[in-house]
Amino acid sequence: MDFPESKHVKLKTLDAVREDAQDCTRCDLYKNATQTVFGEGGNQARVVFVGEQPGDKEDVEGRPFVGPAGRMFDAILEEVGIDRKKTYVTNAVKHFKFELRGKRRIHSKPNAGEIRACRWWLDQELTLIQPDVAVALGATAARALVGKAVPVMTLRGTITESAEGVPVFITVHPSSLLRVPDEMDRRRARELFAEDMRKVKALMKG
């Protein structure tokens, strides 16, 4: 006999997956990081924002996008009228990768193997949430979502399909706005990112 519910039986909840991820040893990054920084938000979210990996502050607090890039991101979301509490915010890689310089922990880019290993968690987040759109914030997120290297500046502002068929909106990482040296250029970069977020808002159906 066919039980239609049976195909849902094995689906875990987001909280259960979050708990499993705390013990993740799928790559070596867990060895030096403080903790797994899993995504944050409800499974009703219509948009999933995907960053690269937690930074220093996120690693300590255990929450995504709470450092300087996160504050910039929050301010722009508010400006364009996206309520972060109604979104899901996560990272392609869930442990902080860094190099020690003296006492400072300097961000180090995750490699293709680490991105692939961590896709295990991102897949489950997307499957459980089923968003209208996933937003790739920068090259690492785009690579994780699309399954191969993506030319972010060429595809910026456009939709590409994820490996699982979720529409992926490509844009830059908010931390890139903080690194623009000239003030006028920085304002322009911020405005372009805000324009992208307005497009994302229009893609959210609910």
51 versus 131: smaller Cβ distance to ligand URA: 51
41 versus 70: smaller Cβ distance to ligand URA: 70
- Examine residue 65 and tell whether it contacts ligand URA (CB under 6 A): yes
Nearest-Å Rg of the Cα atoms of the chain is 17
Please report how close the Cβ of residue 72 comes to ligand URA at its closest, in angstroms: 10
160 versus 176: smaller Cβ distance to ligand URA: 176
Segment interacting with ligand URA, rule: CB under 6 A, options 59-67, 75-83, 112-120, 184-192: 59-67
Q: Which of residues 130-189 bind ligand URA (CB under 6 A)?
A: 175
List of residues contacting ligand URA (CB under 6 A) = 51-55, 58, 64-65, 67, 69-70, 91, 175
